[in-house]
């Protein structure tokens, strides 16, 4: 499937915009002492002046080029559009890492038509990694085609795990217990978007988080599907503002991963 010319124009536009946005964020990252930080839901849920500045840049550029498109940004919320195209943006995913001087953060931009994500971009400025996918067009890391790791197993691969205070601690610890008991191992990088993209590149075998927001994952999930992986996220479409559990996984371990998640959920309920 190839993108329509309207969609392709937006994808190309976003490819250059995401680099500009990442470079703006990087300037602040190199000068953290002068970056204001506020808390949101709790002390671990942070937003910096850089998040706001980067979202303002992305939002104004998109509004200038495609004024009838819809937009949802983590920091500025939802504006409905009437063009049939919708942008979902996280200006800095992994803000906690960002404000603590850790390099695991990225900019995430997803473009959807009326039904589904059609373009997904993730840019990690510290490593200079740009992940890009279009629906039916494959997944790429810095221009080279990528695939999920089809040889990995629960016992040999790494499962990215996301955690936040939006879910009960037992949901996280229950999954960790199940994974470790199955001889698996976890990584928490602090950026859900980047971890999901790392599944597409075969760096992680899977990513699981009991609750994530749409702006953290829509772009990465398209990259994973285009790289041959499986994804689950109920928080798209009408539930765009609710978020939900997210899974991105290499196909051969999907059944086992789901069983581990179900075992943990069953234990948490009993």
Q: Under the rule (CB under 6 A), what is the footprint of ligand LIP? A: 74, 90, 93-96, 162-164, 190-192, 209, 212-213, 216
Q: What angle do CA 239, 242, 246 make, to 5 degrees?
A: 90
CA distances from 71 to 77, 118, 132, 165, 248 (A): 8, 15, 19, 26, 24
**Identity of the residue, 118 or 197, whose beta carbon is nearer to ligand LIP in the bound complex:** 197
* Least Å from the CB of residue 132 to ligand LIP: 19
From CA 264, how far away is CA 20, in angstroms rounded? 42
| Residues paired with residue 185 on neighbouring β-strands, in sequence order | 158
Contacts of 44 (CB under 8 A, 6+ apart): 96, 164, 165
**Identity of the residue, 133 or 197, whose beta carbon is nearer to ligand LIP in the bound complex:** 197
Q: Which helix (H) or strand (E) holds 169?
A: helix 169-181
**Identity of the residue, 133 or 212, whose beta carbon is nearer to ligand LIP in the bound complex:** 212
**Identity of the residue, 99 or 135, whose beta carbon is nearer to ligand LIP in the bound complex:** 99
User: Strand, coil or helix: what is 150?
Assistant: coil
**Identity of the residue, 17 or 50, whose beta carbon is nearer to ligand LIP in the bound complex:** 50
Strand-strand pairing, 185-187 and 158-161: parallel
* Least Å from the CB of residue 93 to ligand LIP: 4
Using CB positions, name the residue nearest to ligand LIP. 162
Radius of gyration of the chain (CA): 18
């Amino acid at each position: 499937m190839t993108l329509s010319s309207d969609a392709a124009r937006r994808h190309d536009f976003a490819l250059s915009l995401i680099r500009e946005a990442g470079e703006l964020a990087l300037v602040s990252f190199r000068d953290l002492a002068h970056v204001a930080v506020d808390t949101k839901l709790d002390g671990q849920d942070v937003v910096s002046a850089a998040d706001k500045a980067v979202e303002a840049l992305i939002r104004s550029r998109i509004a200038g080029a495609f004024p009838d498109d819809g937009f949802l940004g983590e920091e500025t919320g939802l504006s409905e559009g009437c063009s049939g195209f919708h942008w979902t943006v996280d200006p800095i995913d992994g803000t906690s890492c960002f404000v603590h001087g850790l390099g695991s953060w990225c900019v995430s931009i997803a473009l959807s038509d009326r039904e589904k994500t059609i373009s997904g971009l993730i840019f990690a400025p510290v490593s200079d990694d740009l992940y890009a996918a279009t629906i039916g067009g494959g997944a790429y890391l810095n221009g080279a085609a990528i695939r999920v790791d089809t040889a990995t197993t629960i016992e040999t691969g790494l499962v990215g795990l996301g955690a936040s205070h939006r879910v009960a601690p037992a949901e996280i610890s229950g999954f960790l217990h199940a994974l470790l008991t199955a001889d698996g191992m976890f990584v928490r990088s602090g950026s859900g978007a980047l971890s999901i993209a790392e599944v597409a590149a075969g760096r992680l075998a899977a990513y699981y988080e009991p609750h994530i927001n749409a702006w953290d994952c829509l772009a990465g999930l398209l990259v994973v599907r285009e790289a041959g992986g499986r994804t689950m996220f109920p928080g798209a479409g009408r539930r765009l503002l609710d978020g939900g559990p997210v899974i991105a996984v290499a196909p051969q371990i999907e059944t086992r991963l789901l069983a581990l998640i179900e075992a943990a959920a069953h234990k948490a309920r009993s």
